[in-house]
Amino acid sequence: MKGLIKLCLAFAVLGLSQIGAQAQDWQKEWSDVQARAKGQTLAISVHGIEGHAAIVGLFQKKFPDIKVELLEANPSQFAPRVLTEQKGGIYAWDVMWAATSNMNNTILPADGFSKITDYLILPEVKDEANWRVPSYLYTSAKGPYVLVHSYMSEGTVYANNAAIKGLKIESIDQLLDPRLKGRIAVRDPSRSNNGTFVLGSILREKGNAFLDSLFSKQDVVVIDNPRQLTDAIMRGDSAVAVGAAPDTIAQCYLAGGCKDIQRVPFGGYLFSRGVGVMKKPPHPDAAKVWINWFLSKEGQETFVREWVKYNDSGAVSFRKDVAADPKHKASEPDYNNLDKYFIAGADSGETLLSSVIKMYTDIKAKAK
């Protein structure tokens, strides 16, 4: 009996020593990576939406020995740029942080990312149990390339109630109101963007015939630039904007303006923000420091805290231990039923998105 007890104690001591060794392993790796990253430049592209640059700035304050080369750009512009560079043998970027649609649908199929799991060090980041729904942690079944740190319930359809007297937009069916002919501005439906996501949600709910009527009968005004599209609804040139920039309108609200502008109660979708490490990053250690800090509890709390200062929605994290900002609780999806949503920027929404783009391009071609 005493021999058995001694054997059990020996195994317990061995187990504890292995746990201790594992802890020392990641701590040493994390320390070594930070040491190697000193003097490196983190080349990072972020979505050109308010809040991103501020959070990257806080990262630089925390890690002052890492220089930051920051590019603020719409993903639809950065994606073709980085792929053209890579095709020419130029690997100039370390990390991308943005809405995930162009990351998942453009860069990932072209083999433009590294596996992000190769860059994860901190146990709290690597342990998928710390994320709300592990099966939705990555955008694609192709592998762990684009990690989603935030899912938010989003709507980017706005109406200017003063644009057409007596018309208040409250349902999808009203988009076919003859009074709106020529007064609906849509962000370019020929590629992935906020406007296409809305149209994907509408297609899912109303079917092909409705979307066909919208494109072919309502003379929609196509504006590719999100700021110009948003300006059109704010000025009243358009009565409805599909795919407007919520951060711009949020800033207008905060300044006391846009009193006639309302977000309409339809066309919502699940918007995902994520991070990816570019293929052959020139500064892999700096990339590791950013990825692990940003996806940590501290990094995600920083994201939530700062995001709410610049936006009227979206201050929510996919980490279980990071609460949404109280002002943005409405942005949280039903995490127990994520499959009920049209998810922009993931494989699951790609079929609908492709249908929207094809329908629009076909109608446009026939009109020429």
What pLDDT is attached to residue 104?
95
> What is the pLDDT at residue 194?
85
Number of H helices, E strands in the chain: 12, 11
Measure CA 153 to chain center.
11
The tokens describing 197, both together, are: 């996501």
- The Cα 271–Cα 342 span in angstroms is 9
CB under 8 Å to 82, separation ≥6 — which residues? 45, 93, 96, 107, 112, 278
Q: Summarize pLDDT for 51-107 with one digit per residue, the tens.
A: 999 999 999 999 999 999 999 999 989 999 999 999 999 999 999 999 998 999 999
**Which DSSP string do the residues of 262-323 spell out, in sequence order?**
EE-SS--EEEEEEEEEBSS-S-HHHHHHHHHHHHSHHHHHHHHHHHHHH-SS----SBTTSP
Least reliable range by pLDDT among 4-13, 27-36, 46-55, 325-334: 4-13
Contact between 100 and 146 (Cβ < 8 Å): yes
Question: Would you state the pLDDT for residue 113?
Answer: 98
**The pairing of beta strand 41-47 with beta strand 221-223:** unpaired
Q: Mind listing the domains of the chain with CATH numbers?
A: 38-153+271-333 (3.40.190.10), 156-267+349-367 (3.40.190.10)
Residue 142 has pLDDT above 90, yes or no: yes
CB 332 within 8 A of CB 158: no
**How many whole angstroms separate alpha carbon 88 and alpha carbon 108?**
17
Position 351 scores a pLDDT of 84
Q: pTM value?
A: 0.77
Higher pLDDT, 43 or 313: 43
pLDDT tens per residue across span 172-218: 999 999 999 999 999 999 988 889 999 999 999 999 999 999 999 99
Q: Is the alpha carbon torsion for 224, 227, 232, 238 positive or negative?
A: positive
